[in-house]
Structure 1
Amino acid sequence: MKPTLPAKLLHALAPWRNAPAWHIAFSGGLDSTVLLHLLANSESIPPLSAVHVHHGLQAAADAWPSHCQSICDHLGVPLRIMRVQVQAGASLEGAAREARYQAFTEVMGAGAVMLTAQHREDQAETLLFRLLRGAGVRGLTAMPVHRPLAGGHLVRPLLHVSRGELEAYAMAHQLQWIADPSNTDTQFSRNYLRHRVFPRLTERWPQAVSRLARSAEHLNEAQGLLDELARIDLQAADQPSPFPWLPLPSLALACLRELSDARQRNALRHWLSPLTRLPDSDHWVGWQSLRDARHDAQPLWRLADGQLHRCGERIWWLPSSWSEFSDTAVSWPDAQHPLSLPGNGLLRIVGKAPAGPFEVRYRQGGETLDVPGRGRRDLKRLLNESGVPGFVRGRLPLLYQGERLLGVPTLAGLRVAPSEGWQLHWVPQTCDQGLS
């Protein structure tokens, strides 16, 4: 006996039955209306609420919040209506989706679940759409059943349910839903596939939708194996940095070089995916140029959300926000207390601080520094000796008293004489403060 739609849904949601809250992304359309009705009539589930995102992209949408409110009131489900601004861009669909998911993150609590109502036909459309765009294995996994979202989980419990099943349920329970007029506009790629392509496919191959959805499952399994291989390869490359005070993701290059080109790309995709949008296959030549540059070069590879730098035999990820700091001099009248540097972390003196006042400046070139036992030395040469990555040198806070460079942060080979009784320590801005 085939399981009923309520039984299918609760089986799919079993792993999240102990979540502190379930939120439904409620557009008011057929799919989310069925999902809301199913859960509102379920027992022993976490506290349930709905979220309606109003994009303001068409006049008809102004009536949708009141419709959604009426449905939720009837079912006894709290509703939060969120109005968003959709940024203009090349893809209106993509911009609306980004605004919608940003709104979802605002309602999520730790461990909470956001439920969306995509079904099997949506999955098949996603796979074909991405295939036509030349996506790789990761893209062809289409929509995952679940993924992390803002400290909780985004879950799609209806991916194995057909649109026909949802329609039958809605008709049997006399549900009312919104028919979005934009869903028939074939200038949008997904609508074109839905209304022009899939009818022809299913006319010739009636099982096309279910088979495409099954292919997405196979590709998802293949991607899981690639991720497992990437984690194995990254274990060797994830060696401790020689600069533990520098809170940036980095990898040892030598270990990556031992891999085939395909395994290098696989490992880097896995490592970079939480950090930036990944490039298409045509742009991976940037990785080869960075990897194969001369040992004394300091090449970089520009990506969507930051840069990958190579310094010696190590690669470093620098998010776009790394360059967002002020290199203006900052006065430090009382060195007994730590100094917060705009966009550049915290500076403090460990030990008995010398009498101030001081000023913190950044490198201009030509600086010299007294080094115990070595006399006065050029700062650039000292930094070269200690191997400090080039991209961090412009951010090093330099302690001045008048026009005299009194100290730089404690680095290998750049320590104040023990007789001085103090050391300058710099805690750079961490990834949690916006570097990720």
Structure 2
Amino acid sequence: MIDKIIKNYQNKSFLIAYSGGLDSTVLLYQLLKIKKNNIQIRAIHINHNIHSLSQQWTEHCQKICVKNQIPLIIEYLQPHKNMNNLEERLRIQRYNIFYKNLLKNEILLTGHHINDQCETFILSLKRGSGPTGLSCMSFQTSLGNNIIIRPFLNITKKELELWAKKHQLKWIEDISNLQIHYDRNFIRHNVMPILEKKWPYFIQNCLRTINICQKETKLLNYFLHKKIYNLIIFNDCLNIKTFKNMQKDMCTALIRYWLSLKKIKLPSYKSIQYIYDQIIFSRQDANPRIVLKKNEIRRYKETLYFLKIQPSVQNTILFWHNHNIKLKLPNNLGYLEKNKYGNKLPAPHKNELINIRFQYEGKIFILGRHKKRQIKKIWQENNIPPWLRNQIPLLFYNNIFIAALGIFIVNCNMTYRDDWMLSWNNHVKLPNNYLFSFF
């Protein structure tokens, strides 16, 4: 079944996702039949720890791999107390483990077949997915710098079972697959038999629809890629200035494609609509955002930003007792250092306590200005987005505000003070290629 597929890949190193079930067992033995063709095989088994027989299944996989001289990686998942959306959370954990164990240029092989594909299609219909979601699994997809191949996607489970029986293979029957409170099992046992009985060609037609959706999605992405090329700007942000002159459907398609470049699970249709309605076209002075797990999308002026959520440091105070030693800042914001390469600042007196803060409210009088202004206005003048304003180290001597490092110096009473040179070494970037001046 798969020897022609394997020959198409110059890389001959493969990692098999081996559960011990029918699909992965057939995959393993088919690879063994062509192993003499100078290919390297490893297997990985994940014990989910959700069944009393889980350890017996692991031992079965060990026995098969030892017998056939296949290196086997065994990974254990922690038992889950929260059963909500368990299938999806386990799937994410599995792929993270696969990614962690893949060697450079090694190809991951999985045993997914037509029936799995059809079940995924129905699950996508249940979620209200569009053509991208209805494209389901692809024959080949990326996993970081590696690839996944699903060689059985054009083969039915019945065909795999016939091959396994013909070659007298032994495999695990996971009885948890009979528990229909899981969505996929419900579709497999309560939905698919009815559909196949009524329409014998339902699975094949389902596959045809999936293939059409994949082709349509590929074609759409081709045009979106060409159009979005001129919209992606500084730091992979999305310029939305022209969105007011575009149809909503085009805008939401571009937003979705932009997010697909971030290598995250794409948000729902509802979330994309929210980004369009409540973030792009909210009030100009608003500070809208939407959270996508560990990330967030925010708008500043005419640009959308995709950001990793950072812990708040608003109430943090760092005391710099020995300024001859670098001061490390939180949130990967770099460090402060006294050296000859920094910017010139008023130096502290010996009896003053140097401290770094990340929040200040009220009016201040900065050098180069003739009157006090609200600090919010100063941030805006310097194109500092709201989410970065509490990431910039503010220098204080005791309770005297001295400077926002890299942005401005406060015009306070600096009589009888010497100068010193202070550097803020960081990788923080601002809109319009504005970089902090302390490097």
TM range (shorter): 0.7 to 0.9
Structure 2 match to 1:202: 196
The alpha-carbon distance between structure 1 residues 363 and 184, as it changes in their structure 2 partners (threshold 3 A), is closer
Whether 1:217 aligns to 2:208 is no
Structure 1 match to 2:434: none
CA deviations 1:23-80 (Å, max 9, x no partner) are: 1111111110110111122133542111111111111222111111111112111111
Whether 1:410 aligns to 2:409 is no
8 A Cα contact 1:382 1:414, kept in partner: no
Query: Which runs of structure 2 are paired with 1:81-120 in the superposition (5 Å)?
Result: 81-87=74-80, 88-120=82-114
1:291 to 267, 280, 287: 280
2:342 to 324, 327, 351: 351
Structure 1 match to 2:131: 137
Q: CA deviation at 1:352?
A: 6.9
Whether 1:30 aligns to 2:26 is no
Query: Which runs of structure 2 are paired with 1:30-429 in the superposition (5 Å)?
Result: 30-42=22-34, 43-87=36-80, 88-240=82-234, 249-273=236-260, 274=262, 276-283=264-271, 284-320=273-309, 322-325=310-313, 327-335=315-323, 338-348=326-336, 350-351=341-342, 358-366=354-362, 368-372=364-368, 374=370, 379-411=375-407, 422=421, 424-425=423-424, 427-428=426-427
Distance 2:263 2:242 in 1: 21
The alpha-carbon distance between structure 1 residues 326 and 406, as it changes in their structure 2 partners (threshold 3 A), is closer
Q: Which amino acid aligns with 1:22?
A: F
Q: Tell me the TM-score normalised to structure 1 length.
A: 0.85
Q: Which amino acid aligns with 1:252?
A: N
The alpha-carbon distance between structure 1 residues 263 and 221, as it changes in their structure 2 partners (threshold 3 A), is same
Distance 1:328 1:254 in 2: 36
The alpha-carbon distance between structure 1 residues 158 and 326, as it changes in their structure 2 partners (threshold 3 A), is farther
Distance 1:112 1:255 in 2: 43
Distance 1:326 1:373 in 2: 27
Q: Which amino acid aligns with 2:207?
A: A
Distance 2:139 2:38 in 1: 19
Distance 2:423 2:298 in 1: 27
Distance 2:251 2:196 in 1: 40
Distance 1:415 1:250 in 2: 32
386-395 vs 229-238, which deviates more? 229-238
The alpha-carbon distance between structure 1 residues 236 and 255, as it changes in their structure 2 partners (threshold 3 A), is farther
Distance 1:318 1:369 in 2: 32
Distance 1:327 1:41 in 2: 63
8 A Cα contact 2:106 2:146, kept in partner: yes
Q: CA deviation at 1:166?
A: 1.4
Q: CA deviation at 1:238?
A: 1.3
Q: Which amino acid aligns with 1:427?
A: N
Distance 1:64 1:261 in 2: 51
Q: Which amino acid aligns with 2:174?
A: D
The alpha-carbon distance between structure 1 residues 146 and 257, as it changes in their structure 2 partners (threshold 3 A), is farther
CA deviations 1:131-158 (Å, max 9, x no partner) are: 2331111110111222222432222111
RMSD over equivalenced CA pairs, Å? 2.8
Q: CA deviation at 1:353?
A: 6.5
Structure 2 match to 1:245: none
The alpha-carbon distance between structure 1 residues 89 and 181, as it changes in their structure 2 partners (threshold 3 A), is closer
Distance 1:175 1:198 in 2: 26
Q: Which amino acid aligns with 2:342?
A: G
Q: Which amino acid aligns with 1:163?
A: K
Question: In the comparison of the two structures, how many residue pairs are matched?
Answer: 411
8 A Cα contact 2:343 2:423, kept in partner: no
The alpha-carbon distance between structure 1 residues 89 and 150, as it changes in their structure 2 partners (threshold 3 A), is farther
8 A Cα contact 1:256 1:264, kept in partner: yes
Distance 1:213 1:332 in 2: 64
174-183 vs 338-347, which deviates more? 338-347
8 A Cα contact 1:276 1:306, kept in partner: no
Distance 2:166 2:144 in 1: 36
Distance 1:237 1:421 in 2: 43
Structure 2 match to 1:244: none
Q: CA deviation at 1:229?
A: 2.5
Distance 1:130 1:343 in 2: 38
Q: Tell me the TM-score normalised to structure 2 length.
A: 0.84
The alpha-carbon distance between structure 1 residues 276 and 37, as it changes in their structure 2 partners (threshold 3 A), is closer
CA deviations 1:341-385 (Å, max 9, x no partner) are: 121411345337765573211123126354147577653332222
Q: CA deviation at 1:118?
A: 0.6
Give the gaps of 5 or more residues in structure 1: 241-247, 431-436
Q: CA deviation at 1:303?
A: 3.5
